[in-house]
Every structure is written in C-alpha cells, then in structure tokens.
Chain A
Amino acid sequence: MQNNKEIWGSRLGLILAMAGNSVGLGNFLRFPVQAVQNGGGTFIIPYIICFLLMGIPLLWIEWSMGRFGGRHGNHSTPFILDTMGKSSAWKYIGVFGIFTNLAVAAYYCYIESWTLSYAIQSLRGVFEGWNQNEIADYFDNYINMSTSFFGIGNEAIIYFLICVILNTYILSKGLSGIEKVAKIGMPLLILFGCFLAIKGLTMGTSIKSSEFPLANAWDGLNFLWTPDYDSLFNPKVWLAAAGQIFFTLSVGMGTIQCYASYLKSKDDIALNATTAGFTNEFVEIVLGSLIVIPIAAGYFGLDWVKENISFGMAFQTMPYLFNQWGEILGNVGGVLWFGLLFFAGITSSLAMGTPWIGFMQDEFKWNKNKSAISFGLIVTLLGLPCVLFYKYGFFDQFDYWAGTVSLVVFALAETILFSWIFGMNKGWREINKGADITVPGIYKWIIKYITPLLLLMVFMGALLTPLDNNWMAAIEQFWQEGIWSFDETSIISQLSNTQLKESMKSVIDKEGLELIRSKIYYTNLARAILFGTFSSIGFLVFIAGSKRKINFRK
C-alpha cells in the first residue's frame, strides 16, 4: 500500500490535469448536438441548474473521496470505497472505477487517433479543394479501413497504436508526465478554441453559397441561445441536460478520485474542484457553443444543421467548411480544430490510465513502467476489436455500456455511499477541510437529497426511455392504457437487441440479413468481452482483498 507515494508537483498542474480530464471531445461535439436536439436556448437553463445541483456536488464528492482514500494509501476506487463503506461489497462496486476507464480508453484512444490523423492530414493540406462528398467518403474509408498509410497497412490501426503508445509512454512518467501534458495541452486547447470561436462569431453571411443562399452563422447562435420557457416543462430536456452535465464533467468514472488521492490531507478541495469544473464549463459553454453550430450554419444554413448535426460531422463536414475559408486559413482551421480535439482527447485518456496504474501499484507492488505497459496492452487488446469491427457496432456497445450506463450506476452508488453510509456530517467535514472558499451550507442538503435524486432520474430515464423520447405521450398512454412503449435506445430495449431484431424483419435481401446477423453476433461478443473484463478486475480485487487480510493478520 505504501509503494505509491507520488504527489502533484503544483496546484495549477493539478487543476489543469483535472480540467483536462473533464474537457473532452464531448465539450465540442456532444454539447452542441444535445443543445440542438433539445430546443437550443431552452436546453441551456436546465443545463446550468443541473451543473449547480448535480455537477458541482459530484465534483466535491469525488475529490473528497479521493483525498480520503489517498490518506489511507488507496489510489483506486475499489479500496477507496472499501475504506468508506461498512460492507466489503463496496470494493466490488468500486470495480466500476477501473473497468469503465479501461473499456472507455479502448475506444476513446481510437477517436483520439482520428483527431491526430486528421490534424496531420490538415497540416499536409490533404483536404484542399475537396468537395463535401470526397471528405465524407474519406472518413467512411478511414473507419472501414480501405485506406493505407504509405502502403504499410491500415491507417486507422497505425494511428490507434501510435495513440496507445503515446499514452503509455506519458503514463509511465507518472504524475509529472500528466502534469506536463496538461500544462501544455490545456492552454493550447483554449487558444485554438478562442481562434475558432472568434471565427464562428464573426462569420455572419461571409461564406454563404449559391446552394444555400440563406445561410447565416448568426442563425445558429440565435437558435442555440433563444430561450423557450415552455420547453422547461418537458422531462426530455431535463434528462438530456442532466446527462450532458454528467458526461462533460467525467464524473462516475473513478478518475477524479484517483487524481485527488495524490493530494495531501490538508490540501484544498472546494476551490480546486470548483475551478476545474468552471474551466470545463468555460470550454463547453463559451468555446463549444461558438464553433460547430455557427460555422456549419454559416455555410449550410440552420435547417441543414438541425437535420444533420451529429458526432461524425466533426470529421465528415468540418474540413469542408474550413476549405471555404481559403487555402491557407482552411488548413490552419483544420489543424486548430483537430489539434484542439486531440488535446481534449489525450488529457482525458491519460486520466483513464491512472486508476488501473494506481491499483496495480497499491495492491501488487508493480512499478510505474510495468503498470503503464500493462494498461497499454489492455487498451490495445480491447481497442483493436473496436477498430476492426467498428461497422458491426462493436464500438457502440463499449460506448453504451461502459461509457454511459456504468458511469450513471457508479455515480449513483458513490453518492449514496458518501452522503448516506459514510455520513453527510463526515462528508461535509471532508469537503471543507483545508478549503480556500466557504462552501454554502445549502449544499449539505443538496448533496444528501437532490444530487442522488437527479442521478436516479438520469438512470431511470436511460432505463425506461419511452418511444421517440416523448415522455409526455408515454406517461399519458401509461395512465390510460397501462402500456409503456420503450424506445430502442432504452437500456431495456438495448438488452434485448430490439432494434436489430426489428431491422431483421424488414430486410429482405440475403446480404442485408447477413449484415444484421453479424451485428447481433458482434454486439453480443462486445458485451461478453465487457462482462469478462469486469469479472477479471473483480477477481483481482478479490485477490487484493485476500492479500490485505493476510497482511493484516501478520
């Protein structure tokens, strides 16, 4: 347990690393999509309320848990939870805090590798003069691995491996390596983001085309920020806002606890966590809202944006939009855009490596190099199927079960542990110990009642998502007919592969049928691998627990 005595080099480094952990691709890609799909300006108000009632409290909870665990020599969630809970079962719930990171890192490094590849291609001017279809096709060929890199195999695999090796190398340097990357990456990310945001703000109608004569960047901003107070009564908007806050802050992953476990017992938590949280919000609300939507609306018009906005737009559309800025500025735009996504990605993927490394160092006395290399190997093993079987939905399964469901389950469990089992009085003392700001007393009540309630709401929302996400209609139907129609995105429908089975009924050609059968096969395979990964970590936790008991008796 005492093998791991690292500490953070500086307070600024710690905050930037924590902010880097939270700031990810979702700040630039998920936030605008969620905002557009949930009524634009209406979305922002519940989003801010959820940040104050769920986001900030969760940050304080996780930072406190981490520092508390670190004081007892624990740097990963299984034994941090074990120290706080009264039952030994908590250490198995803590498995989520390692499992999620390994599984998410596997596909996250893959997306990170796209950004690295696209940044290099933009720098080389590869996309110059390409039309929209050529750029979209390039992305399809890239993920379907029909392109090669200097004739030595598939570009997607090579860039993925480069990213894994880079992450492994930095992680092997310990906290100092992570701090260095955060100190370089975060300011650059903000600088690149500011440049693109200023372009988004000042573009107006300057790049409208004859095909889209009504295009105007301001329409995008108008839509995003015009409040529509009626939609505040729509549960769908609230669920989406709570979900976005949850994912943007990277809570429920175990990374914050791990980073905070390297703090000293009298170090501040309240101010540090608030600073990291607001830095993430700055990147999301200020920069994230001023790039994709206005730039796309400035060329295609708002109607196109509403219909087509998606995660893939970052790669399939943005390079084309940058081309409209002219030859040099277009390439610069591409490098800055994919560069900022890369920095957002790598600061998050590095954080995902630390819980596993902390666990192996604490429990099995592995050194930094060995732990980091083992992380790289696991990520490669889990990530390669995501790369190879992307088109069969393998990647999506990892994203759904590890990157979505597990986070909510774990956050709900840790909040209950912190405020109800560890006890709110002790928890409140932990939050305020060494604090450089006065935490408002009302938060004691919010953390105990409101935050768990909001998390439960997010979880139930995901479990029971009604058809077309229309809660009003579903509640009415349930009230009148006693029937609840599940949407294909709900956990219940996902478990039974409803969507794939439905599409099987409508497909008549042999090829289409074969594709769906393959999708079902790879979907189940991905789930089996995820279950196997979770069980294996659970087994390691069991061994570590037994070793601790033996050492305690000695």
Chain B
Amino acid sequence: MNTDALILMILIQFVVTAVMVFCFLKVLKKPNKK
C-alpha cells in the first residue's frame, strides 16, 4: 500500500474513531441525562 494512502486512511479512521469514543465516554459520564 502506498504511503500517502496509508497515512490518509490511518489519519481519517483514527480521528473518526477517536471522536466517537470521546463522545461515548462523555455520554457515559451522565448516562441518565438524556
């Protein structure tokens, strides 16, 4: 796999996953507040 593709893939997939995990962690801090 070429370097540009690998960097773009890892970067975007990492950022999307990290934001999702961050949001879920924040949600789970106040699980009862809808």
Contact = CB atoms under 8 A, between A and B. Distances in A.
B32 to A, nearest CB: 7
Contacts of B1: 218, 221-222, 225
A48 to B, nearest CB: 7
Interface stretch (A153-161, A260-268, A354-362, A526-534): A260-268
A286 interface: yes
A285 B27 contact: no
A272 B20 contact: no
Given A44-B12, A285-B16, A436-B30, A222 B23 contact: no
Interface residues of A, number: 35
Contacts of B16: 278, 281-282, 285-286
A10 interface: yes
Interface residues of B, number: 23
B12 A285 contact: yes
Given A271-B26, A281-B20, A14 B34 contact: yes
A272 B26 CA distance: 10
A15 B33 CA distance: 12
Contacts of B32: 10-11
Q: Is the interface of B mostly helix, strand, loop or mixed?
A: helix
A282 to B, nearest CB: 5
Consensus secondary structure, chain A interface: helix
Interface string B3-26: 011101100110011011001101
A114 B12 CA distance: 32
B23 A274 contact: yes
Contact of B19 (A11, A14, A264, A278): A278
A282 B22 CA distance: 13
A10 B20 contact: no
Given A227-B8, A285-B12, A12 B20 contact: no
A436 B33 contact: yes
A267 B27 CA distance: 12
A286 B31 contact: no
Contacts of A227: 4-5, 8
B27 A222 contact: no
B5 A267 contact: no
Contacts of B17: 282, 286
Contacts of A278: 16, 19-20, 23
A264 B5 CA distance: 45
A222 B2 contact: yes
Contact of B34 (A11, A44, A48): A11
A263 B34 contact: yes
Given A268-B30, A278-B16, 9 more contacts: A48-B12, A221-B1, A222-B1, A224-B9, A226-B2, A263-B34, A268-B33, A275-B26, A285-B16
* 4 A-B pairs closest in CB distance: A275-B23, A225-B5, A225-B9, A278-B20
28 contacts: A7-B34, A11-B34, A12-B28, A12-B31, A41-B8, A44-B12, A218-B1, A221-B1, A225-B8, A225-B9, A226-B2, A267-B33, A268-B30, A271-B23, A275-B23, A275-B24, A275-B26, A278-B20, A279-B20, A281-B20, A282-B16, A282-B17, A286-B13, A286-B16, A286-B17, A289-B9, A434-B33, A436-B30
